[in-house]
Amino acid sequence: MEQRAVGVVAIIVKDRPAAHRVNEVLSDWDGKVVGRMGIPYHDRDLNVITLVVDDTTDRIGSLTGKLGMIPGVTVKSTLAKL
């Protein structure tokens, strides 16, 4: 059985065109995202998105990996294994 986890994923979008790609990736994870908050940070010309996720550690790692490969996007996560 795979290890399940609840975690927080922080996404910083530095390139406005990257936001569209981020949303495409996140739409594939609709059922595993418990909550989402997005904040435009106009003074720094970037956007900050936080997610609360509930899935296996492998799938959360896959999500953060896909997001991290998008140019102009930085991703960090913290997980609590259940």
> What CATH number is associated with residue 26?
3.30.70.1150
- Judge contact between 10 and 55, C-beta under 8 A: no
Predicted TM-score (pTM) of the model is 0.91
- Judge contact between 72 and 12, C-beta under 8 A: no
49 is in which domain, residue-wise? 4-81
Among candidate residues 2, 10, 22, 7, the one with its CA nearest the CA of residue 54: 7
Q: Residue type for 20, please?
A: H
CA dihedral 67, 78, 49, 62 (to 10 degrees): 20
Q: How does pLDDT run along the chain (82 residues), one tens digit per residue?
A: 678 999 999 999 998 889 999 999 999 887 889 999 999 999 999 999 999 999 999 999 999 999 999 999 999 999 998 8
What's the domain count of the chain? 1
